[in-house]
Amino acid sequence: MPAKPQPNLLFNEYVKNIGGRKGKGVVDAIGDGATDEHIEKKTKYKMTEIRSLLNRLQDAGIVEYSRVKNMQSGWFTYTWRVNRTRATGNYMTQLRKKYEVLLRMRENLDGAQTYRCPKGCVKLPFEEAMEGAFRCPKCEGKMRTVDASAERRELEKQLGAIDTILKK
């Protein structure tokens, strides 16, 4: 049987990326819906910290609020809810964008040889190095190709990691 998608895993990872361990604490405290005060009671975090975490989580589409005005005091009560579907969707979109960027970076690595002066004066793309007959424009030293294999390995590693997540 093929592996089933694991939205919970993705969701938790996204929450951790955005809010860290305490962000996860706030999300857990919200449960099926909670006010700031309830979150404070449950997490024992400072209210200023909770509000800042809620802001970050809201910006990322992880939580949202509804507010009710108290007719006597005129104050609003905010009730927070977790939107797992939207959060997971946002995270997938973010990962796909990052994947595209990494792919382009890999293409650039493949497409263009870079040359550098062994003394470290300059780094030039192939065309410019060739125009200078592969001599450093500053010290006349013989330019050498830059070994991009470490960079490429790092890109492959990141691409592979995202690939695994997106296939989950």
The residues binding Zn ion (CB under 5 A) are: 117, 119, 121, 136, 138-139, 141
Q: Containing H/E element for 42?
A: helix 36-43
Please give the Cα distance from 80 to 6 (Å, whole number). Answer: 24
Q: Containing H/E element for 116?
A: strand 114-116
Nearer to Zn ion, 9 or 139 (CB): 139
**CB of 117: closest distance to Zn ion in angstroms?**
3
Nearer to Zn ion, 71 or 133 (CB): 133
Nearer to Zn ion, 50 or 117 (CB): 117
Nearer to Zn ion, 139 or 166 (CB): 139
**CB of 144: closest distance to Zn ion in angstroms?**
11
**CB of 116: closest distance to Zn ion in angstroms?**
9
**CB of 150: closest distance to Zn ion in angstroms?**
22
Start-to-end CA span in the chain (Å)? 13
| Residue for token pair 């493949």 | 110
